[in-house]
């Protein structure tokens, strides 16, 4: 009697409409065929025994088996039985009536109870299915007692144990099916997320290359053309009035000026699109609203100023990289970006309440980019290229705070050393603000920071 136990898998789907809307797997098809074979085989066995044993009601037994087989086959072929709970219940009622008639004329009819258990659990809700199984077991016991003069424990234990095994089997299969469905959904979500991540990485790579080209054009071609133009202007002034070379120098200076303008147009065309649609603050605010996962809030402190394009690009890229790491690694519930304008510097802070990491480790978690720890060096390099300072404060389980301070280009600062001192002083003064923000995001991070 083990074969019918495993023939239940088509049944576990709680909503009756699912088998009609979702294609059966090969295993489910095999198990369903096994259930069909079990029921028809038991009917054939009952009819054969009635004939070979010369039972007094052999004709009635064969007729009852034929009716039961016809009702069963009609329900199997009817789509409404699998899609409508009402139709399924009516079909079970018809099967029950035909089976009761078979029990009256033949004691072997109680064998049909076992496949009926699975049909009832398949087509009815769990509560009604268990009730129907109990009623079927009682009917099987009553039919056996009606045909047997001796009462034995097996007459009660057989149908009851069969019903218990059927219920346990179907419940176990339903749990496995639900787990399989959850895993399938997770796999589909993972595939979708990986595709989105790959697209985002491709887009980030394209933007990074655009930015690199813009820097290279600005720092090499544009600067070189500007120097050539200045040298040609100096040569024009050094030559005497009416010198033959003046015309050629003027043409060369005009050509250099045109090429410089073209180079600057290239640099503007390669500027990140987020900065083309507004200020740095607006770009950071749009970045916060488009982050999936944690809630991200943007704050602006101080009076906004117009920053040079390299400053805006560097701050925007650092914010994008840090937020991407928060989403990928930090498992944070919320994060905050703060852009602060001071008298001599501008500061960007990215704080999250995630699980944190050890900044001194070789493979940082939330702040790393997931590509071997190159996220932090890349952000640090951007800040230091502009004479700024970059710091990361974090501890396992205590969240992460990333801060970058860039000195504003002041005319009264004569050299890079002065710029560095100004940036360092502003950055040290800002550390207390960063710590307070981390405490507000994550109260249990006080000791770590």
Provide the pLDDT for residue 389: 94
Write the DSSP symbol of residue 330: I
Of residues 338 and 98, which shows the higher confidence score? 338
**DSSP codes joined into one string, 193-232:** HHHHHHHHHHHHHHHHHHHHHHHHIIIIIIHHHHHHHHHH
Give the whole-angstrom CA distance, residue 45 versus residue 115.
Answer: 14
Provide the pLDDT for residue 47: 84
Of residues 406 and 382, which shows the higher confidence score? 406
Number of C-beta neighbours around residue 245 at 10 A: 11
Provide the pLDDT for residue 338: 94
Segment 340-369, tens digit of pLDDT: 999 889 999 999 988 888 887 744 443 333
Provide the pLDDT for residue 348: 95
Of residues 189 and 122, which shows the higher confidence score? 189
Q: For the domain bounded by 280-361+375-407, which CATH number is listed? A: 3.30.565.10
Q: Is the pLDDT of residue 373 over 90?
A: no
Q: Which structure tokens are listed for 356? A: 């944190």
Q: Is the pLDDT of residue 60 over 70?
A: yes
Q: How far is CA 426 from the centre of its chain?
A: 40
Q: Place 311 in a pLDDT band, splitting at 50, 70 and 90.
A: confident
Could you tell me the CA-to-CA distances from 192 to 79, 183, 196, 200, 371 in Å, in that order?
34, 14, 6, 12, 20
Q: Place 432 in a pLDDT band, splitting at 50, 70 and 90.
A: very low
H-type helices in 78-152, by residue range?
A: 79-83, 85-105, 113-123, 126-147
Of residues 272 and 185, which shows the higher confidence score? 185
Do residues 306 and 294 touch, judged by C-beta distance below 8 A? no
Do residues 67 and 98 touch, judged by C-beta distance below 8 A? yes
Could you tell me the CA-to-CA distances from 291 to 195, 333, 356 in Å, in that order?
16, 12, 19
Provide the pLDDT for residue 300: 93
Provide the pLDDT for residue 272: 64
Could you tell me the CA-to-CA distances from 239 to 232, 234, 246, 394, 446 in Å, in that order?
11, 9, 7, 64, 71
Provide the pLDDT for residue 17: 39
Provide the pLDDT for residue 271: 63
Provide the pLDDT for residue 163: 82
How many percent of the chain have pLDDT more than 70?
Answer: 78
- Range in 17-31, 268-282, 334-348 the model is least confident about: 17-31
pLDDT mean across residues, the chain: 76
Q: What is the mean pLDDT of the segment spanning 109-115?
A: 83
Number of C-beta neighbours around residue 70 at 10 A: 11
Write the DSSP symbol of residue 333: S
Q: Edge-to-edge strand order for the sheet containing 295-301?
A: 295-301, 334-341, 345-352, 400-407, 389-394
Q: Place 270 in a pLDDT band, splitting at 50, 70 and 90.
A: low
Give the whole-angstrom CA distance, residue 116 versus residue 258.
Answer: 90
Q: What is the mean pLDDT of the segment spanning 54-58?
A: 75
Of residues 102 and 4, which shows the higher confidence score? 102
Q: Is the pLDDT of residue 221 over 60?
A: yes
Do residues 30 and 45 touch, judged by C-beta distance below 8 A? no
Q: Place 269 in a pLDDT band, splitting at 50, 70 and 90.
A: low
266-300 per-residue burial string, b: 16 or more CB within 10 A, e: under 16: ebeebebebbeeebbeebbbebbeebeebebebeb
What are the beta bridge partners of residue 334?
295
pTM value surpassing 0.75:
no
Segment 164-200, tens digit of pLDDT: 888 888 888 888 888 888 999 999 989 988 888 888 8
Q: What is the mean pLDDT of the segment spanning 137-154?
A: 77
Residues 6+ apart with CB under 8 A from 270: 210, 211, 213, 214, 217
Q: Which residue, 229, 222, 264, is CA-closest to 250?
A: 229
Provide the pLDDT for residue 419: 38
Q: Place 410 in a pLDDT band, splitting at 50, 70 and 90.
A: low
Residues 6+ apart with CB under 8 A from 30: none
Q: Show me where the domains of the chain are located.
A: 26-151, 204-270, 280-361+375-407
Give the whole-angstrom CA distance, residue 449 versus residue 445.
Answer: 6
Q: Pairing mode, if any, of strands 389-394 and 334-341?
A: unpaired
Number of C-beta neighbours around residue 128 at 10 A: 15
Q: Is the pLDDT of residue 54 over 60?
A: yes
Q: Is the pLDDT of residue 402 over 90?
A: yes
Give the whole-angstrom CA distance, residue 259 versus residue 380.
Answer: 33
Provide the pLDDT for residue 297: 92
- Range in 122-136, 214-228, 362-376, 379-393 the model is least confident about: 362-376
Q: Is the pLDDT of residue 104 over 70?
A: yes
């Amino acid at each position: 009697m083990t074969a019918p136990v495993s023939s239940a898998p088509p049944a576990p789907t709680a909503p009756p409409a699912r088998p009609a809307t979702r294609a059966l797997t090969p295993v489910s098809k095999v198990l369903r065929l096994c259930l069909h074979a079990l029921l028809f085989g038991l009917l054939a066995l009952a009819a054969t025994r009635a004939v070979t044993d010369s039972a007094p009601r052999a004709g009635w037994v064969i007729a009852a088996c034929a009716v039961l087989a016809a009702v069963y086959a009609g329900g199997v072929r009817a789509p409404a039985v699998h899609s409508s709970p009402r139709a399924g219940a009516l079909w079970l009622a018809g099967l029950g009536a035909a089976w009761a008639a078979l029990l009256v004329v033949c004691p072997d009819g109680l064998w049909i109870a076992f496949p009926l258990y699975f049909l009832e659990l398949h087509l009815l809700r769990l509560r009604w299915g268990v009730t129907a199984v109990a009623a079927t077991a009682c009917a099987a016991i009553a039919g056996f007692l009606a045909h047997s003069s001796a009462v034995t424990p097996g007459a009660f234990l057989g149908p009851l144990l069969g019903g218990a095994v059927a219920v346990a089997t179907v419940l176990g299969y339903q749990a496995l099916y639900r787990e399989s469905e959850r895993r399938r959904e997770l796999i589909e979500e993972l595939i979708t997320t990986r595709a989105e991540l790959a697209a985002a990485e491709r887009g980030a790579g394209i933007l990074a290359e655009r930015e690199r080209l813009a820097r290279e054009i600005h720092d090499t071609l544009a600067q070189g053309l500007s120097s050539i133009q200045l040298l040609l202007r100096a040569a024009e002034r050094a030559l005497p009035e009416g010198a033959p070379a003046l015309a050629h120098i003027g043409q060369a200076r005009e050509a250099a000026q045109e090429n410089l303008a073209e180079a600057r147009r290239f640099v503007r065309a390669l500027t990140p699109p987020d900065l083309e649609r507004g200020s740095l603050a607006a770009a950071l605010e749009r970045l916060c609203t488009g982050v999936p996962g944690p809630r991200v809030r943007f704050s602006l402190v101080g009076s906004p100023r117009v920053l040079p394009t390299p400053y805006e690009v560097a701050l925007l890229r650092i914010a994008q990289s840090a937020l991407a790491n928060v989403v990928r690694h930090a498992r944070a519930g919320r994060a905050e970006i703060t852009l602060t304008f001071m008298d001599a510097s501008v500061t960007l802070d990215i704080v999250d309440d995630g699980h944190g990491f050890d900044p001194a480790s070789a493979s940082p978690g939330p702040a790393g980019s997931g590509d071997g720890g190159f996220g932090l060096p890349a952000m640090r390099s951007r800040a230091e290229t502009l004479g700024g300072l970059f710091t990361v404060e974090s501890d396992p389980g205590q969240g992460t705070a990333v801060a970058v301070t860039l000195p504003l280009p002041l005319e009264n600062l004569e050299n890079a050393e002065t710029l560095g001192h100004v940036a360092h002083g502003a950055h040290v003064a800002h550390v207390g603000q960063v710590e307070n923000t981390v405490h507000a995001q994550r109260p249990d991070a006080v000791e770590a920071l």
